[in-house]
């Protein structure tokens, strides 16, 4: 499974529909200052389920929507579409029914984000897990933003470990463990309640 195309509409400076073909071997994007290189990388992180507005260099998630310019009014929504080649059928169950996988995230002012995968509504969590398991998640070290190399060199061991875990494709397991622990705690509470009721009946 690999990325083949990124499409943006109303996302940050990309107010008009813009398409980027991700050909094999693409490792970097170059261009003059302010032309939107970082915005492209952020669009990729965002469509994979990034939830932190600060990573998008904004105060709130709606800051990713085109805010208007001297000549163009602001937009009401932004949309990013990521197309993946799934001919090797490595996408997880639920995303694996076709040779191509298309994931869309759309944000509308005052209405938040919605995801679609191959035309069907998808949950944010499932999209995040899909990419976390594929080691390409929103926090993946394969996407290198400006200043990240020096940050990594100066990082504390704990932060460096997170990078290695993401690279090894095991970061999705932490979320699953956390969810399992919550369920376990809820079950223990229920069991305690059943115990109380039984005691009261005896």
Binding interface with ligand ATP (CB under 6 A) = 12-13, 31, 33-39, 63, 65-67, 146
Least Å distance between CB 79 and ligand ATP? 14
Q: Is 195 annotated as a binding residue?
A: no
Q: Which two tokens stand for residue 163?
A: 């990078």
From CA 174, how far away is CA 33, in angstroms rounded?
Answer: 38
Q: Of 55 and 67, which CB lies nearer to ligand ATP in the complex structure?
A: 67
Least Å distance between CB 163 and ligand ATP? 22
Least Å distance between CB 137 and ligand ATP? 21
Q: Give the DSSP letter of residue 34.
A: T
Please report, for residues 21, 88, 102, 171, the alpha-carbon distance to residue 163 in angstroms, rounded to integers and kept in the order given.
27, 26, 26, 9
Q: Of 145 and 162, which CB lies nearer to ligand ATP in the complex structure?
A: 145
Residue 111 has phi, psi (to 5 degrees) of: -125, -5
Which single residue is written with the structure tokens 């035309």? 119
Least Å distance between CB 68 and ligand ATP? 7
Neighbours of 30 (CB within 10 A): 6
Q: Of 78 and 129, which CB lies nearer to ligand ATP in the complex structure?
A: 78
Q: Is 113 annotated as a binding residue?
A: no
From CA 82, how far away is CA 7, in angstroms rounded?
Answer: 6
Q: Is 118 annotated as a binding residue?
A: no
Q: Of 37 and 116, which CB lies nearer to ligand ATP in the complex structure?
A: 37
Query: Which residues make up each annotated binding site for ATP?
Result: 32-39
Query: Which residues make up each annotated binding site?
Result: 32-39
């Amino acid at each position: 499974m690999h990325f083949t195309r990124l499409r943006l509409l109303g996302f940050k400076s990309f107010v008009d529909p813009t398409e980027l073909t991700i050909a094999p071997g693409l490792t970097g994007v170059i261009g003059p200052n302010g032309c939107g290189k970082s915005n492209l990388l952020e669009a990729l992180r965002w469509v994979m389920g990034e939830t932190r507005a600060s990573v998008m260099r904004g105060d709130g998630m709606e800051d990713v929507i085109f805010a208007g310019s001297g000549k163009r009014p602001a937009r009401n929504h932004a949309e990013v579409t990521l197309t993946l080649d799934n001919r090797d059928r490595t996408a997880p169950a639920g995303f694996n029914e076709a040779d191509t996988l298309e994931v869309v995230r759309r944000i509308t002012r005052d209405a938040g984000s919605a995801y679609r995968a191959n035309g069907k509504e998808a949950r944010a969590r499932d999209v995040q897990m899909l990419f976390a398991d594929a080691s390409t998640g929103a926090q993946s070290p394969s996407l290198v933003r400006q200043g990240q190399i020096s940050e990594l060199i100066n990082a504390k061991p704990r932060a460096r470990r997170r990078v290695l875990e993401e690279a090894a494709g095991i970061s999705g397991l932490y979320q699953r463990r956390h969810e399992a622990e919550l369920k376990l705690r809820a079950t223990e509470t229920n069991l305690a309640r059943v115990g109380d009721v039984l005691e009261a009946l005896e």
